[in-house]
Amino acid sequence: MSLRFAVFGDVHGRVPLMLLLTRAWQHAHDLPLDGILQVGDMGAFPDHTRLDKSTAKYARDDPDELDFAPFVTRSPLSESLLDHPDTPAVAFCRGNHEDFEYLGRYRVPTALDPFNKLWYVPDGQVLRWGEGADRLRVGAFGGAPPLREQPAGRGRRSRAARRKRQRRAVVGRWTLAPRFTREAAQDAFADGGGLDVLLTHGGPEDPAFPVGCPELAALVGRSRPRVHLFGHHHATVGPVRAEAGHLLVGLEHLEFLRDGSLRPGSWGVLELGEEARFQFVDARDHPWMTPFRRHRWRALLG
- For 119-152, how does the pLDDT look when each residue is reduced to its tens digit (9 = 90+)? 999 999 999 998 776 789 999 999 999 987 555 5
Average pLDDT value for the chain: 90
Domain annotation for the chain: domains and CATH numbers: 3-301 (3.60.21.10)
Q: Do 93 and 40 contact (CB within 8 A), yes or no?
A: yes
* Strand pairing category for 35-38 and 90-92: parallel
Which whole number is the average pLDDT over 39-52? 94
Distance from C-alpha of 237 to C-alpha of 140, rounded to nearest angstrom = 19
> Does residue 75 or residue 151 have the better pLDDT?
75
As a whole number of angstroms, the distance between CA 200 and CA 221 comes to: 13
How far, in Å, CA of 183 to CA of 176, rounded? Answer: 13
Query: Whose CA is closest to 179, among 213, 211, 141, 145?
Result: 145
- Determine the Cα–Cα distance for residues 120 and 98; give it in Å rounded to an integer: 12
> What torsion, rounded to 10 degrees, do the Cα atoms 83, 62, 122, 179 define?
180
How far is it, in rounded angstroms, from Cα 4 to Cα 138?
14
CB 231 within 8 A of CB 251: yes
Query: In this predicted model, what pLDDT tens digit does every residue of 87-105 receive, in sequence order?
Result: 999 999 999 999 999 999 9
What lies within 8 Å, CB to CB, of 134 at 6+ separation is 1, 3
pLDDT single digits (tens) 180-227: 999 999 999 988 778 999 999 999 999 999 999 999 999 999 999 999
The pLDDT assigned to 290 comes to: 94
Q: Give pLDDT, residue 163.
A: 60
| Sequence letter at residue 109 | P
User: Residues with Cβ < 8 Å from 172, sequence gap 6 or more?
Assistant: none
Segment 143-172 mean pLDDT = 64
Q: What is the pLDDT of residues 209-221, one digit of tens each?
A: 999 999 999 999 9
Residue 29 neighbours by CB under 8 Å, 6+ apart: none
Query: What b/e string do you get for 180-193 counting C-beta neighbours within 10 Å, with b at 16 or more?
Result: bebebbeebbeeeb
E strands, the chain, where? 3-8, 35-38, 90-92, 110-111, 118-120, 126-129, 136-141, 197-200, 227-230, 237-241, 247-250, 267-272, 276-280
Q: Give the pLDDT band of residue 164 (cuts 50, 70, 90).
A: low
